[in-house]
């Protein structure tokens, strides 16, 4: 498994619904990439100017929302992941 460095986070996109609330099926060609993901791994944190470590807010297992063009896509073991900075995350989805 990949361990992110500094304030970077490894996430796996979650599949979006394939039908609307009204029952219309959305074809694969019309779908946008999901902007919701599960956090797989997090780096140790960001360094402050004084050298102290600032821990990340998100943790492994969190479901997060991120910007449309955030992160860098990587493929490992046949699965697609994104690596992004914590600053790219818009919020954590709470149950």
Q: For residues 20-59, b (16+ Cβ closer than 10 Å) or e, as one string?
A: eeeeeeeeeeeeeeebebebbebbeebeeeeeeeeebebe
Predicted pLDDT at 30: 46
Tell me the whole-structure pTM to 2 decimals.
0.76
Domains in the chain, number: 1
Distance CA 33, CA 13 (A): 8
What is the average per-residue pLDDT within 68-90? 89
Range of the domain at 37: 8-15+28-93
Query: Residue 66's domain is classified under what CATH number?
Result: 2.30.33.40
Query: In this predicted model, what pLDDT tens digit does every residue of 3-58 receive, in sequence order?
Result: 888 889 999 988 765 555 566 655 555 445 558 899 999 999 888 899 898 888 89
Predicted pLDDT at 13: 87
A 10 A CB-CB count for 14 gives 13
Predicted pLDDT at 84: 93
Predicted pLDDT at 19: 52
Cβ–Cβ under 8 Å, residues 11 and 82: yes
Question: In 23-88, which residue ranges form alpha helices assigned H by DSSP?
Answer: none
């Amino acid at each position: 498994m990949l361990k992110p460095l500094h304030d970077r986070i490894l996430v796996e996109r979650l599949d979006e619904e394939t039908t609307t609330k009204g029952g219309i099926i959305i074809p694969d060609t019309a779908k946008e990439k999901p902007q919701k993901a599960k956090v797989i791994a997090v780096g140790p944190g960001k360094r402050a100017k004084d050298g102290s470590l600032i821990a990340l807010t998100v943790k492994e297992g969190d479901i997060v929302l991120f910007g449309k063009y955030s992160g860098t896509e990587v493929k490992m073991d046949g699965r697609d992941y994104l690596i992004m900075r914590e600053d790219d995350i818009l919020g954590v989805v709470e149950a």
